[in-house]
């Protein structure tokens, strides 16, 4: 019975991994590089940031399993709850600050990281001069 649960769980995880590739055109031909499970305790947040190069692939898709929170990508703020999937790719990962806002309850999500088409350099933040050689590799 224990082995069967593992098989069912692995099959469900594979279906979730394939979902962004089926629903979002730019994910279609990109390999899933790795899967990351994360828990945010109630009151915790992922502060505003831009993703570093070249870590974590070019595109991410997160599925909220338990709990919920608000997510902000640039000026857009939206709510995610259990069963919701959201994706961030390219420009939204490297040019735009994004964050997961604090929530009073715990949040558990699974993030799938895809693609190796990241840029060679981080773009400058608005109002911050870009220095030659600002590489984050």
In tens digits, what is the pLDDT along the chain, a chain of 137 residues?
Answer: 667 777 888 888 888 889 988 998 888 888 888 899 999 999 999 999 887 765 667 889 999 999 999 999 999 999 999 999 999 987 788 788 999 999 999 999 999 988 876 556 655 666 665 554 444 33
Instruction: Give the angle subtended at the CA of 35 by the CAs of 115 and 40, to the nearest 5°.
Output: 120
Contact 87, 24 (CB under 8 A): yes
Residues in the chain: 137
pTM: 0.75
Q: Put the strands of the sheet holding 85-89 in their side by side order.
A: 32-40, 107-114, 59-66, 85-89
SS3 state of residue 92: helix
The sign of the CA dihedral 41, 42, 44, 48 is: positive
CA distance 37 to 45: 15
Three-state SS at 126: coil
The C-alpha atoms of residue 103 and residue 95 are separated, in whole angstroms, by 25
């Amino acid at each position: 019975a224990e082995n069967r649960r593992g098989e069912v769980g692995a099959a469900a995880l594979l279906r979730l991994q394939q979902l962004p590739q089926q629903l979002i055109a730019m994910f279609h031909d990109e390999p899933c590089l790795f899967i990351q499970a994360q828990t945010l305790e109630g009151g915790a947040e992922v502060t505003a940031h831009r993703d570093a190069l070249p870590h974590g692939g070019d595109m991410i898709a997160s599925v909220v399993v338990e709990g919920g929170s608000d997510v902000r990508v640039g000026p857009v703020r939206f709510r995610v709850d259990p069963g919701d999937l959201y994706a961030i790719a390219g420009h939204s990962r490297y040019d735009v600050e994004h964050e997961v806002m604090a929530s009073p309850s715990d949040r558990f999500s699974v993030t799938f990281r895809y693609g190796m088409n990241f840029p060679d350099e981080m773009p400058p933040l608005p109002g911050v001069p870009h220095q030659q050689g600002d590489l984050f590799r």
